Amino acid sequence: MPNPKPATISEYIAGCPPGLRPRLEQVRALIRQVAPDAEESISYAMPTFKLHQKPLAYVAAFQHHLGFYPAPVGIEAFKDELARYKIGKGSVQFPHSQPLPEELIKRMVTFRARQNAEQSRQK
C-alpha cells in the first residue's frame, strides 16, 4: 500500500493513504511510550521497532486492517485477548473499522521488550 521502498518509518507513513496515517502514527506513539529507546527502521518493507538489536514489532498498513507483528511468542502470550481478531502465527490484524486496542498493544510491546532485554542479558 505505501511506497514500496521507504527508507524510514516517516516515509512509510507519508506514502500511505491519508486516512491510514493517523492509525500508523497512533501505533508508533504507543510503541514509543512503552519503549522510548526502541530503534526505528524499515525491515521487510515494513516499519520495524527494535530494542537490543532485536525486533519488538513490525507494523504494516493494508486496505482494511493494520497488521501488527510482535513475533509468534507475542501472539501466543496474548491469544485469549486477541481471539476477537484475525491472527496468524506471528501476526494480528486490527480492522480499520474498530479502534486500536491501545492498552493491549502497549502490553504486547512491553512483553516483547522484556523478552529482548532478557535475551540480551543472557548473551
Q: What's the pTM?
A: 0.91
- In angstroms, the CA 45 to CA 7 distance is 9
Strand, helix or coil at 68?
Answer: strand
**pLDDT recorded at residue 118:** 87
Q: Which residue ranges make up each domain of the chain?
A: 9-122
Q: What is the pLDDT of residues 16-35, one digit of tens each?
A: 999 999 999 999 999 999 99
Cell of 37: 529507546
Q: What is the pLDDT of residues 58-110, one digit of tens each?
A: 999 999 999 999 988 889 999 999 999 999 999 999 999 999 999 999 999 99
| Burial of residue 70 (number of CB atoms within 10 Å: 0-12, 13-18, 19+) | buried
**pLDDT recorded at residue 5:** 86
Assign domain 9-122 to its CATH architecture: Alpha-Beta Complex (3.90)
- The amino acid at 61: A
